[in-house]
């Protein structure tokens, strides 16, 4: 009996401990079911949280190079967009770095709150083109156009040119004819004096021509001059005249022709005489004298 009582005493604390553990578990699962006076289970402390430290990011520079390196058609389109928005009136050459183009870009950027640098980022370029695409096409009312004269035809231009040449010829004609008449007077005097006079001294090719005809027993008849050209040269007024001589040999009469070229002065300067078919020689003389024609 004594052993049995001792065993019961030993089992009592264990049972109480088991009951206490069950009560704690029950209170933990459902605090409202805790017996009165039973302590509430302890709550775990919330974990400590730390705010992340912000990382400073470097500022990214605007990309203006990509647009400047776009193909020419795309750069011309940007100029067309600026023109559609009444910002640009220059040539559509694709040069986005010209002074006029950069000024137009700056004005457009100012109206949109962008940095006013005269160059476009890819985003700005896209915005610009999209904005221009929304602009309605301006249609012109033909009734409001002022009447314009049609472009002159080739025939009209030719008539205008001929009229200007006629005016120049008329202004130069008196001096040209006076210079040619003075030449003919000297030629006649030279022939009348049988090969003596200033004409032979000044135009040695003419003196040789006269001597050849005389040796062939030809005589000189009528002399007919015609002004070939007249104008300003580097050393004075220059003239070229075509002179036809009627030469006779027996019963035969036939013409011979010489072109005389000179700078009109007293005495004449830069004198030359050519056969009338020596066109290259005459034109070479005019080029050497830098003749600026007022005759043709």
User: Who has greater pLDDT, 41 or 280?
Assistant: 280
Stated pTM of the model? 0.49
Distance CA 13, CA 79 (A): 98
**Same domain, residue pair 117 and 197:** no
**Same domain, residue pair 197 and 284:** yes
In a domain, 224, yes or no: yes
Residue 210's pLDDT is what?
Answer: 97
Altogether, the residues listed in the chain come to a count of: 296
**Same domain, residue pair 195 and 247:** yes
| pLDDT exceeds 60 at position 53 | yes
* Residue 109, domain CATH: 1.10.101
Total domain count for the chain?
Answer: 2
The H or E element containing residue 126 is: helix 122-133
**Same domain, residue pair 122 and 186:** no
Domain that holds residue 272: 166-293
Residue 16's pLDDT is what?
Answer: 47
Distance CA 277, CA 290 (A): 22
Residue 281's pLDDT is what?
Answer: 95
Distance CA 4, CA 46 (A): 50
Least confident of 30-39, 51-60, 201-210, 276-285: 30-39
* Residue 209, domain CATH: 3.10.450
**Same domain, residue pair 115 and 233:** no
In a domain, 157, yes or no: no
- Residue with tokens 């109206």, as numbered in its chain: 111
DSSP string, 6-72: HHHHHHHHHHHHHHHHHHHHHHHH-GGGSPTTPPPPPPPPPPP--PPPPPPPPPPPP--HHHHTS-H
Q: pLDDT tens across 256-275, in order?
A: 999 999 999 999 999 999 99
**Same domain, residue pair 173 and 254:** yes
For 266, the token pair is: 């007293």
**Same domain, residue pair 204 and 283:** yes
Residue 5: pLDDT band with limits 50, 70, 90? very low
Bridge partners of 292, per DSSP, are: 232
Average pLDDT over residues 245-256: 93
For 123, the token pair is: 């985003």
In a domain, 161, yes or no: no
Q: Is 231 exposed, middle or buried (0-12, 13-18, 19+ CB in 10 A)?
A: buried
| pLDDT exceeds 60 at position 208 | yes
**Same domain, residue pair 201 and 273:** yes
**Same domain, residue pair 202 and 289:** yes
Q: Could you tell me what percent of the chain has a pLDDT over 90?
A: 56
Residue 29's pLDDT is what?
Answer: 59
**Same domain, residue pair 289 and 170:** yes
In a domain, 278, yes or no: yes
Q: pLDDT tens across 9-46, in order?
A: 444 454 444 455 555 556 555 656 555 555 555 565 66
Residue 165: pLDDT band with limits 50, 70, 90? confident
């Amino acid at each position: 009996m004594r052993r049995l009582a001792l065993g019961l005493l030993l089992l009592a604390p264990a049972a109480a401990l088991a009951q206490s553990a069950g009560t704690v578990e029950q209170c933990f699962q459902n605090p409202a079911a805790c017996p009165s006076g039973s302590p509430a289970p302890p709550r775990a402390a919330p974990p400590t949280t730390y705010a992340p430290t912000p990382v400073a990011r470097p500022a990214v520079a605007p990309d203006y190079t990509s647009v400047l390196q776009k193909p020419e058609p795309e750069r011309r389109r940007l100029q067309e967009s600026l023109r559609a928005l009444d910002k640009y009136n220059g040539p559509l050459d694709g040069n986005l770095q010209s002074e006029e183009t950069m000024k137009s870009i700056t004005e457009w950027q100012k109206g949109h709150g962008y940095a006013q640098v005269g160059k476009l980022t890819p985003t700005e370029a896209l915005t610009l083109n999209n904005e221009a695409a929304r602009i309605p096409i301006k249609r012109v009312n033909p009734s409001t156009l002022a009447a314009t004269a049609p472009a002159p035809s080739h025939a009209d231009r030719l008539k205008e040119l001929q009229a200007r040449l006629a005016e120049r010829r008329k202004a130069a004609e008196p001096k040209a004819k006076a210079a040619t008449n003075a030449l003919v007077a000297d030629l006649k005097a030279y022939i009348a004096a049988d090969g003596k006079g200033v004409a032979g001294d000044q135009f040695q090719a003419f003196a040789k021509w006269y001597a050849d005809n005389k040796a062939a027993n030809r005589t000189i008849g009528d002399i007919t001059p015609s002004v070939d050209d007249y104008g300003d040269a580097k050393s004075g007024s220059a003239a070229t005249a075509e002179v036809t001589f009627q030469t006779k040999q027996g019963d035969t009469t036939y013409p011979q022709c010489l072109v005389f070229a000179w700078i009109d002065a007293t005495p004449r300067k830069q004198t030359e005489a050519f056969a009338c078919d020596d066109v290259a020689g005459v034109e070479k003389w005019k080029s050497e004298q830098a003749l600026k024609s007022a005759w043709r």
